[in-house]
Amino acid sequence: MTTPTRSEFKTTYESIRPRYPELVGKVALVTGSSHGIGTGIAMRLAREGMRVVINGRTLEAIEQTVAEFQAFGIQAVGIAGDVGRSEDVDRLFQTTVEAFGTVDLLVNNAADLRRSHFFEADETLLDDQLLSNIRGPYICSYRAAEIMRDQGSGSIIHISSVGGLRAHWRGLPYDMTKGALDALTRAQALELADYGIRVNAVAPGATRTERTPADDSPQGQATGSRVPLRRYGLPTEIGAAVAFLASPDAAYITGQVIYVDGGLTIQLGLREYPV
């Protein structure tokens, strides 16, 4: 999912049914939300009436996404920054508080998605992913938790991956970092429960973005056919899980990883090749 056109945005946005009136007016900071799954998450949260912060590394993409949001009356601000850099994270939260006064929901979506074979993944790729996929969510969570602790409530949701539970073929070091993110989810949930802060994760499976092949291409058809529900997921479907976990309906849920994967992680083998 690239940044949608005005007509695409309108069609998708208006097709979403708001379900959680308690989220209206709350503030959601979604890292890596200028494109792809992050945009779908931010769109769903905005449809629930939340004020949203759009973040990414590329200012042009952020400005385009924010403009599309604001054109539909959504209260949105854009803040460029690399979540692996402490100074960028400090500025991200400072600007968010200046704009909206607080942070009620942090969605740690920004990540380096590259995957490689063990013998082909050099130390530079490892270092990049440790910064983006582990350090970034960790320090963003710390800044958010400081704010949430003072107000006595809040929610942190990490965007993990099916690769944190099952290994991709050629999945390193990405899968390793997502497994660490799942562990962070559980540890944070325990330690922040006393402050009224819930921590969960959403783990997408094959999801339609600008990175995925077209549905009618041979590769797209092959990938979709390997999912039990026989299709790619949509970014707004990941957003639906995030909205639920952020809502009062999930008030007794913390420390969990929710798989939004069309059944991908439950199968031992493809139906055409039963084990």
Output phi, psi for 270, to 5 deg.
-65, 150
| Cα dihedral value 259, 263, 269, 272, nearest 10 | -160
Q: Which residues are catalytic?
A: 174
Q: Which residues contact 174 (CB under 8 A, 6 or more apart)?
A: 112, 113, 114, 115, 129, 133, 161, 163, 168
Let me know: does 257 contact 203? Beta carbons within 8 Å: yes
Tell how strand 76-80 and strand 105-108 pair up: unpaired
Task: State both tokens at 251.
Answer: 């008030």
Question: Which token pair is 22?
Answer: 């308690």
CA 48, CA 59: separation in Å to the nearest integer? 26
Q: The tokens 């056109």 sit on which residue?
A: 5
- CA 19/CA 240 separation, integer angstroms: 10
Q: How far apart are CA 37 and CA 234, in angstroms?
A: 8
Q: How far apart are CA 65 and CA 61, in angstroms?
A: 6
Q: Is 233 helix (H, G, I), strand (E, B) or coil?
A: strand
Contact 62, 34 (CB under 8 A): yes
Neighbour tally for 126: CB within 10 Å = 15
